[in-house]
Amino acid sequence: MQTLISPSLLAADFMNLKADVEMVNKSEADWFHLDIMDGVFVPNISYGLPVVEQISKIATKPLDVHLMIVDPDRYIEAFKKAGSDLLTVHYEACTHLHRTVQNIHSHGMKAGVSLNPHTPVSVLEDIIQDIDLVLLMSVNPGFGGQSFIENTYSKIEKLKALVAEKKTELIIEIDGGVNLETGKKLVEAGADALVAGSFVFNSENPTQTIADLKQL
């Protein structure tokens, strides 16, 4: 399977968001990665439901929504209505993760679970068969443009071993500090999907940068 590429609009030009969404539409990207930050779970506030809703009106690819918010159950229905296709919540933000995953599925969305860099993949042992995607954070969540944390490669290997042991299938997505160099090693380690924000939107030619990532 070719690597799935999910450009993060956190690094887009918010004064020209429509143009950046159209660029992603025309590119080889597979998804739109939308980072929702509440200023509580992470020390930053990004954008919210009205922006997601507007993006969904013109996006021609699935919306991969990464919720960095406490108690995400309160907003599952709202993100479905705003156009989310895949909703990822943080393990660290959910008291009743299994219920949250059921709730996401009952709203007709794919369910992802994200782990902070310090959270071991072993915490997924009893939820792994119920989810569609694991999002491994390769930076501490909250900001774009941070340096990649190297232990992510070994976490992918541990996650792949857990997936095999549980005889299940899911998408392994990596988020933070992805560029051609880290991306190549991530794919070699077993990543299925890569999120890239600043590497795409700060490049001279974002469409070509997405195509280069797609080749990995």
Ligand X SMILES: O=C(CO)[C@@H](O)[C@H](O)COP(=O)(O)O
Q: Which does 196 bind (CB under 5 to 8 A by kind): Fe ion, ligand X, none?
A: ligand X
- Rounded to 5°, angle at Cα 214 from 152 and 201: 80
Does the annotation place 30 within a ligand binding site? no
| Site for Fe ion contains 35 (CB under 5 A) | yes
Q: Please identify, using beta-carbon distances, which residue of 143 and 166 lies nearer to ligand X.
A: 143
175 is an active site residue: yes
In whole angstroms, how close is the CB of 47 to ligand X at the nearest point? 12
Of 116-155, binders to ligand X (CB under 6 A) are 139, 141-146
For the CB of residue 11, give the shortest distance to Fe ion in the complex, in Å. Answer: 11
Question: What is the identity of the amino acid at 9?
Answer: L
Residue of 20, 35, 192, 212 marked active site: 35
- 88/209 with CB nearer Fe ion: 88
- 29-88 residues near ligand X, rule: CB under 6 A: 33, 35, 66, 68
| Residues between 194 and 213 with contacts to ligand X, criterion CB under 6 A | 195-199
CB 64 within 8 A of CB 32: yes
Which DSSP state fits 21? H
Burial grade of 58 (CB within 10 A; 0-12, 13-18, 19 or more): exposed
* Beta strand ranges found along the chain (DSSP E): 4-7, 32-37, 63-68, 86-90, 110-115, 133-137, 171-175, 193-196
> Considering CB distances under 5 to 8 angstroms, the limit depending on partner class, which of Fe ion, ligand X, none binds residue 178?
ligand X
Residue 151, C-beta contacts closer than 8 angstroms, at least 6 positions apart: 117
Which residues are CB-contacts of 112 (< 8 A; sequence separation ≥ 6)?
64, 66, 86, 87, 88, 89, 131, 132, 133, 134, 135, 171, 173
Query: Which of 117, 72, 139 lies closest to 99, judged by CA?
Result: 72
Set 30, 38, 64, 175: catalytic member: 175
State yes or no: is 73 an active-site residue: no
User: Would you say 66 or 90 has its CB closer to Fe ion?
Assistant: 66
Known binding residues for a divalent metal cation are: 33, 35, 66, 175
Known binding residues are: 8, 33, 35, 66, 142-145, 175-177, 197-198
Binding site for ligand X (CB under 6 A): 8, 10-11, 33, 35, 66, 68, 139, 141-146, 175-178, 195-199
